[in-house]
Amino acid sequence: MSKKKQPVGVAIDDVTIKGVDGLQLSINDEVIGTVMPLEGGSFEAQIGSERPVKVKTQDEAVEYVIQTYNLHH
């Protein structure tokens, strides 16, 4: 039998890292990644100690963090 899919709540909190305001994503009080703005209007998504990924929009960065988390868990 297959398991039923259960919704998972993702918390998005405002944080300030090194003087820059960004977002911190967490699931069940476990931080899964951060989204930080860059100069020029783009954003940087980072999961744990992995190399940051540059994307065009904040929504793309949030989606990237969640998708990458889902791939590894």
Do residues 27 and 12 make contact, with C-beta atoms less than 8 angstroms apart? no
Q: What is the pLDDT of residue 30?
A: 92
Where does the pLDDT of residue 6 fall: very low under 50, low under 70, confident under 90, or very high at 90 and above?
confident
Mean pLDDT of 6-18: 89
Task: Map out the domains of the chain as residue ranges.
Answer: 10-72
pLDDT above 90 covers a percentage of the chain that reads 73
Mean pLDDT of 36-65: 94
Q: What is the pLDDT of residue 55?
A: 96
Give CA separation, 4 vs 1, 7, 15, 60, in Å. Answer: 9, 10, 34, 27
Q: What is the pLDDT of residue 2?
A: 65
